């Protein structure tokens, strides 16, 4: 049986670890947060509270010489980088690492990550699939800090272009909109939103929450 390790158990990492546990693989899930490790323990074969930047700690829980390790550490870029470096030193082969910025991703690639993933980009495709219905407001938590929201346009946005809305709020992207009962996924930045249009937004949770609660 293959063994896969998941390091970092935020929403994104937890989902991966839980999903992997349903396959014919052994899952080792680790985090430095005892509560998160306890929550995942009912789904995976092995779960541990460790400092993943420590080679010794990783080795002690069996994360060495593995074919696949997924690093899903959130906002702590330093810990993410040090973890990937430690994993390389322990002869792990395919290190798939989550990045939160392009620069972060470039660093991870240069120090040996086999593949770098950007949850916010993946999220755009997820939102299109999940949000194309008639529910006025719906949310999806993509990770600890990224959220997608579908909402109905309120009076304060009517007549504004997609570009002007994004410039005004500056902390999210509009990835699709619905007008006259038709969804548009190739977003026209010059489109002026109308009353009762629907928007799908993707961005940092704290800014998304603040934005749509004002509507």
Question: How many domains, in total, are found in the chain?
Answer: 2
- Domain of residue 130 covers 121-212
Q: What is the pLDDT of residues 194-211, one digit of tens each?
A: 988 888 888 777 777 666
pLDDT at 32: 94
Q: Are residues 136 and 187 in the same domain?
A: yes
- Arithmetic mean of pLDDT, 51-57: 95
Among 117, 143, 170, give the residue marking a domain's end: 117
Task: Provide the percentage of residues in the chain whose pLDDT is more than 70.
Answer: 84
Q: What is the pLDDT of residues 139-149, one digit of tens each?
A: 666 666 677 78
Q: What confidence tier does 96 reach under pLDDT thresholds 50, 70, 90?
A: very high
Among 79, 102, 117, give the residue marking a domain's end: 117
Among 117, 145, 180, give the residue marking a domain's end: 117
Virtual torsion, Cα 45, 113, 111, 47, nearest 10 deg: -10
In the predicted structure, residue 66 carries a pLDDT above the cut 90: yes
Apex 128 CA angle, 123 and 131, nearest 5: 105
What are the backbone angles phi and psi of residue 97, rounded to the nearest 5°? Answer: -120, 135
Q: What is the pLDDT of residues 119-173, one digit of tens each?
A: 765 555 554 544 455 445 566 666 666 777 888 887 888 899 998 888 887 778 8
Cβ contact 137:150 at 8 Å: yes
CATH number of the domain that residue 7 is part of: 3.40.50.720
Q: What confidence tier does 82 reach under pLDDT thresholds 50, 70, 90?
A: very high
**CA 146 vs CA 49, 183, 202: distances in Å:** 24, 23, 7
In the predicted structure, residue 12 carries a pLDDT above the cut 90: no
Q: Are residues 111 and 176 in the same domain?
A: no
Q: Are residues 127 and 158 in the same domain?
A: yes
CA distance 173 to 171: 7
Q: What is the pLDDT of residues 178-199, one digit of tens each?
A: 888 888 888 888 999 998 888 8
Q: Largest alpha-carbon pair distance within the chain?
A: 60
Q: What confidence tier does 57 reach under pLDDT thresholds 50, 70, 90?
A: very high
CA distance 182 to 132: 10
Tokens at 41, concatenated: 């323990």
């Amino acid at each position: 049986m293959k063994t896969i390790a998941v390091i970092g158990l935020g929403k994104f990492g937890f989902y991966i670890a839980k999903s992997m546990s349903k396959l014919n693989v052994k899952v080792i899930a680790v985090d430095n947060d005892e509560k998160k490790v306890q929550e995942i323990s009912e789904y995976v074969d092995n779960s541990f509270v460790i400092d993943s930047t420590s080679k010794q700690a990783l080795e002690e829980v069996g994360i060495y010489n593995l074919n696949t390790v997924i690093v899903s550490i959130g906002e702590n870029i330093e810990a993410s980088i040090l973890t990937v470096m430690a994993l390389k030193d322990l002869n792990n082969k395919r290190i798939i690492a989550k990045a939160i910025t392009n620069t972060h991703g470039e660093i991870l690639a240069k120090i040996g990550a086999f593949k770098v993933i950007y949850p916010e980009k993946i999220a755009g495709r997820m939102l299109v699939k999940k949000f194309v219905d008639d529910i006025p407001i719906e949310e999806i938590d993509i990770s600890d800090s990224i959220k997608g929201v579908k909402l109905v346009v309120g009076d304060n946005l009517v007549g504004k272009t997609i570009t002007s809305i994004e410039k005004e709020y500056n902390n999210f992207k509009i990835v699709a909109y619905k007008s006259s009962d038709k969804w548009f996924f190739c977003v026209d930045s010059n489109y002026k939103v109308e009353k009762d249009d629907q928007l799908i937004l993707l961005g940092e949770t704290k800014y998304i929450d603040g934005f749509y609660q004002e509507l």
